[in-house]
Amino acid sequence: MAESVVSFVLVKLADAFVKEVMRLHGVSKQVEKVSRELTRIQAFLKDADTKRIVNERQKQWVKEVRDLAYWIEDVIDTLLLVVPEKKPGKREAIKRLFVKTKKLPAVHKLGDEINQIMARIQEINESRVTYGITNMGEGIEGEIRQPIQRLVPTDVDEPDIIGFDEDKEKIISLLLDEKTTRRSVISIVGTGGLGKTTLARKVYNSEAVKQQFDMRIWVTISQQFQLIDILQNIAEQVRIPKPTNLSEHQLNNLYQSLTNKKYLVVLDDIWTTDLWPLIECIFPDAKNGSRIFITTRFLNVAEEADPISVPYKLQFLTEKPSLELFLKKAFPNQNVNEGCPNDLYEISKEFAKKCGGLPLALVVLGGLLSRKPASYVAWSRMKQTMNWVNDGERCFAIINTSYEDLPFALKSCFMYFAAYPEDDRIDVHSLRHIWIAEGFIPQEENKTLEDTAENFLEDLAQRSMIQVTARNFDGSIIRRRIHDVLRDLAIEKAKECNFLMTCSKIDDIQNCSETRRLVINHGIDKLTPKEKELYGQKIASATPNLRSLWCPWDVPNFCQLRYLKVLNGSHEFYRGSKYKPEKFGELSQLRYVKVKLVVESQVVLYNFQTFIGGMRFLQTLNIWPSNFDCDLELPDCIWHLKTLRHVMLPNKGRIALGPPSSAELINLQTLQGVTNRESWEVEGVPKLPNVKKLMIRNQFKWDTITTLLGTLEHLTGLTIEGDDVPLTMIDMSSFPFYHGLQYLNLEDSQQPSHKNIALDVTMFPIHLTMLILKNLQRREDPMPVLEKLENLRYLRLEGSKFQQMYCHNGGFSQLKILHLQKLEELEEWKIEKGSMPMLQELLVYDCPLLRVPDGLQHLAVLQELTWYSNGDETKNETMENEIRSICKHVLSVKVRNLG
C-alpha cells in the first residue's frame, strides 16, 4: 500500500503545472531532490513487499514511508487549493498567478515545509539500514505474470460447487420431508469459507424445491443487522407495502401475507441468537410443510431457531474434490482432467492438501496460482514463500498471501471493497469511476483508464478475490460481491494503513482522525436532524485530511473537508438548512460526485448549479433524480472541463441542456440525461470524440442529433428519446459507430399514433446485442425484421400497436431475454419450432389481450417465465396451470396480478 501512495505522489510531482509553480517559488531543486529520494524509497518498498516482511520494525519503516507520502500529498493539495486554475499554454498567466499568490500564508511556508520533508526523508533513509531493508532486485517480483483470462459469462454468482452433491440431496430431502408438516427450521452449520451460502443457493434454485413451494424468499443477514431492513426485504419479495416501523399492525401484515402459503424463507449467514426471537412471529405455521432455511457459523444459533431439528453440519471437502476445485481455479476455462501439466500434478495435490478441504482457501489459492507461470520452478518458489499455519488460521493465511501477491495498484483497489456492506452486489461502473478519481488506475498505452480498471476487476475475479454476480452480454463485469472472509481482510488491511474506515456510531469518528477515506454505514441513516448535524460537525473537525466521504445524508460544514476528492451520498437542500449549496463550490478538489438532490425550491437548486462550477478537476458527476420536479441545468463552465469523463443526470421531467457548441470534451465517455441545443444548428455540435455511452432527448431539430452521431466513432450504447423518433431518417449504417454499437434504445415520447413506421434490418447495427423499442409507431409485426439480428441477446418491445407476432424457425438465434410490455392490442403470438433456441427469460407485462402463445413449448432452454396480468386471482391461476402443463421444463413460472 505504501508503494502505491508513493507512486501517486510521484505522478503529482511530475505534473507540469505543479513543477512550474514550484519553480516560480524557488523550490524546484528541493522538489526534484524529494522526487529522486522518493523514487529510491519506492524501489526499497518493492523489495520489502516482495519478501513478505513480517518483522515489526520493518513494518514500522513502511508505515513511516506511507505517512511521509501522505504528508507530501497534503502539501501539494494545499498548494492547489490556493492557486487558481491556469489557462492551458499561458506561461504569463502562471507568472501573474505567482504575483497574486506568493504572499499567501500557505505558499509562504512552502519552502520551510519542503525542508522539513527533506529532513524526514534523510531520517527514513538512515533507519532503513537499521530495519534491514537493504537489498533490491531479489525475490519473485520479476516473475512474469500470466495474462488475464476473461472468465466466460456463465461464471457468475457463486463459485462452482464441487463435492457437495450428496449434501445438496440430503438438504433437499429435509426441506421436502412430507412427514414433517410443522413449520420447521433447517440449518446448515459450518465455518466461514466452507461453502454454506453456495450450497444453500444451489438448493434454493433446484427444480425440486421450486416446484414444491408456493413462495420462496431469500434474505441475507449481516453482522450488524437492522430488523426493519430485514422485514422490508421480505415484504418486497411477497409484494406488499414495506413496513415503516415494528408496530403490531405492520408485523401482522407480513404474517397475513404468508398465511395459507407453503413458503420457503432462507435466512443466510445469521451471526447471533438475537435475531430469531425477534423475527419468528411473522412466520405462520399452517402445518403445510413450510420451511425456514438458515445458514450460520454457530451451532447455538441453529439450536435457538429450532431445538427439535438436527442442524446439518457441513464437512470439509475430501481429497479428490479438493484437488478438482483447486485445479478448476488454477487452470480456468480448461478441462479439469486435462488442464494441469504432468509436472505440476503432484505439487497441485500438495497445495490442495494444505487448504484442508476449505473451499474458499482452495479457490483463492487456485486463483493466485492461475496468475503465475505454469512451471514447476514458479510454483515451488510460491510454495516456499507461503506461511502455512495451523488449521484454524489456514484460510486467512492463504487469502492474506493472495493479497500480498497483488500488484501495488491492485491492493488499493481491493481495499476499497471494505467500503461496501456485507453481501452487497456492487455496480462496478461506479466502482471503476471511483478508482480512477482516486488515482489508483495507471495510464497504459492505447488504453483508456476505464479499460485498465476493467482489467483490474478481471484480475481480481481470476484470483477469486471477488465473485462475479452479473456480466454484460459482451462478457464485461456488471456486478460483483466479495466473500465476507475476504471482506474482513480488506477491512483489516484498510484500517492498518489508514486507507479507509467505516463508522457505525458517532463515537467511532474520534478513531478515524488519520484515515483518508470514511464510510458512514447506512444503518444509521435514521438519525434526527439534530443528530445528523452533530455527526457532520464531528466528521468535519475530526477528519481534516479526508479524501473520500461516503454518507447517506448531508453533512453540515463538510466544505471544511477541503481535500475531498470523492463524495458519495445524499444531500438535502432546503430553507433553514445549515448545509448551504453554494459551499459546494469550495470543494475544488472533487473528482467524483454522486449525490441525490432533495431540494425545496428552484432558487436553492440554482445556487447549487452555479457553484458546482468550482469543481475544476471534476471527472464524474452523477446526480440522482430528486423528489422535486425541477429544471436542472449545469453552468457552461462544467462543459469546458478537460478532466470530465462521465456525466449522468436525471432523465425525468425537463432535463438539462447538453454541452454548448464550443465544448471540446476529449475525455468524456458517458453523457446521459441531456437534450440537444438550438445553437447546435448554427454554431455546430460539441466535440465529443471519445463518448461511448450517450442518452439524449430531442428538444429542437433532429438534424442536430444526427449531425452529432456522425462524429461519434467509439459509441457502444445509444438512447434517443423524443417526439416522433425518426427511425426512417436515421440511417445507422452511415454512422462511424455502426460496427461497434451494442446497445440501442429508441423511445418515442408521443402517444402511439395511426401512422406506420417501416422497418428494415439495415436500420440496426450488425453487432447489436441489446435493443429497446418503446412506443414504436407501427401496426405491423416487427418480428420478421428483428429476428434477423444475429447477435441480439436482449429485446424489449413496449407500447406499440401491432396485433400479431410470428417468430420463425431460425430467427433470434442468440436471443436470451425477451420483454414484452404494454402491448395493448397484441392478441396472438405464434412461435415456430427452432425460433429463439437460446431464450432463457421471458417477461410479459400488461398485454391484456394476449393469449398463451402457440408454440411456447418449443422454447427448450427457457428457465424463467413471468407474466403480469390484469386478471383476477382465479384467471391468473388458470393461466399459470396452462403454462405449466405446456412448459414442464421451465423452472420458474409466475403469473402475477398487475396490482
What is 711-766 written as a DSSP string? T-SS--EEEEEETT--TTT--GGGSTTTTT--EEEEEE-SPP-S------GGGS-T
What type of residue is 823?
L
pLDDT at 700: 84
Residue 201 CA to its chain's centroid (Å): 21
For 846, left (φ over 0), alpha (ψ -120 to 50), or beta?
left
C-alpha cell at 240: 406488499
Residue 7 scores a pLDDT above 90: no
Residue 565: phi and psi, rounded to 5, are -115, -30
Q: How confident is the model at residue 141 (pLDDT cuts 50, 70, 90)?
A: very low
Burial class (CB in 10 A: 0-12, 13-18, 19+), 71: middle
Helix/strand/coil for 816: coil
Handedness of CA 66, 72, 78, 84 (dihedral sign): negative
Continuous segment of H or E residues that includes residue 277: helix 275-279
Residue 394: phi and psi, rounded to 5, are -60, -45
Q: Per-residue pLDDT tens for 860-878? A: 999 899 999 887 778 888 8
The more confidently predicted of residues 652 and 437 is 437
Percent of the chain's residues with pLDDT above 90: 31
Q: Which residue has the cell 476529449?
A: 666
Q: What is the DSSP letter of 583?
A: G
Per-chain mean pLDDT for the chain: 81
Q: What is the mean pLDDT of residues 385-413?
A: 75
Instruction: Measure the CA dihedral 509/513/515/520, to 10°.
Output: 20
Neighbours of 273 (CB within 10 A): 15
Q: Which residues pair with 592 in a beta bridge?
A: 566, 620
Distance between CA atoms of residues 402 and 396, nearest Å: 10
Report H helices in 178-226.
196-204, 207-212
pLDDT at 453: 94
**Residues in contact with 360: Cβ distance below 8 Å, sequence separation at least 6, in sequence order:** 192, 193, 194, 195, 395, 399, 483, 485, 486
Angstrom distances, CA of residue 635 to CA of 43, 657, 784: 45, 10, 47
Q: How confident is the model at residue 134 (pLDDT cuts 50, 70, 90)?
A: low
pLDDT at 771: 95
Q: How confident is the model at residue 82 (pLDDT cuts 50, 70, 90)?
A: low
Least confident residue range of 191-195, 227-231, 408-412, 623-627: 623-627
Q: Which residue has the cell 409507431?
A: 777
Q: How confident is the model at residue 103 (pLDDT cuts 50, 70, 90)?
A: very low
**Residues in contact with 717: Cβ distance below 8 Å, sequence separation at least 6, in sequence order:** 692, 693, 694, 741, 742, 743, 744
Smallest Cα–Cα separation from 648: which of 682, 671, 675? Answer: 671
pLDDT at 783: 94
Q: Per-residue pLDDT tens for 316-374? A: 888 999 999 999 989 987 777 777 888 899 999 989 888 888 888 898 899 889 888 88
Helix/strand/coil for 610: helix
Contact 569, 593 (CB under 8 A): no
C-alpha cell at 741: 454499437
Contact 118, 29 (CB under 8 A): no
Pairing of strands 477-481, 426-427: antiparallel
Neighbours of 154 (CB within 10 A): 8
C-alpha cell at 841: 427469460
Contact 658, 673 (CB under 8 A): no
3-state secondary structure 77-134: HHHHHHCCCCCCCCHHHHHHHHHHHCCCHHHHCHHHHHHHHHHHHHHHHHHHHHCCCC
Distance between CA atoms of residues 41 and 129, nearest Å: 12
**Residues in contact with 775: Cβ distance below 8 Å, sequence separation at least 6, in sequence order:** 747, 748, 749, 750, 751, 752, 798, 799, 800
C-alpha cell at 394: 489456514
Residue 766: phi and psi, rounded to 5, are -70, -25
Residue 194 scores a pLDDT above 90: no
Q: Which residues pair with 297 in a beta bridge?
A: none
C-alpha cell at 146: 500470466
Least confident residue range of 121-135, 606-620, 668-682: 606-620
Percent of the chain's residues with pLDDT above 70: 81
Q: Per-residue pLDDT tens for 709-745? A: 999 999 999 999 887 665 555 668 889 999 999 999 9
Contact 291, 298 (CB under 8 A): no
Smallest Cα–Cα separation from 553: which of 575, 533, 583, 580? Answer: 533
CA angle 131, 136, 137 (to 5 degrees): 150
pLDDT at 756: 60
Q: How confident is the model at residue 89 (pLDDT cuts 50, 70, 90)?
A: very low
Pairing of strands 566-573, 620-624: unpaired
- Within the chain, what is the greatest distance between any pair of CA atoms? 89
Distance between CA atoms of residues 612 and 627, nearest Å: 20
Distance between CA atoms of residues 62 and 126, nearest Å: 13
Q: What is the mean pLDDT of residues 397-409?
A: 82
Q: Which residue has the cell 444526427?
A: 706
Burial class (CB in 10 A: 0-12, 13-18, 19+), 605: buried
Distance between CA atoms of residues 539 and 4, nearest Å: 26
Q: What is the DSSP letter of 633?
A: -
Q: What is the mean pLDDT of residues 742-765?
A: 75
pLDDT at 585: 61
To the question of domain 165-313 being in CATH 3.40.50.300, the answer is: yes
Distance between CA atoms of residues 689 and 679, nearest Å: 19
Report H helices in 148-215.
165-175, 196-204, 207-212
Q: Which residue has the cell 469543481?
A: 615
pTM of the model: 0.81
Count, residues in the chain: 899
Distance between CA atoms of residues 579 and 570, nearest Å: 12
Residue 437: phi and psi, rounded to 5, are -60, -35
The more confidently predicted of residues 802 and 393 is 802
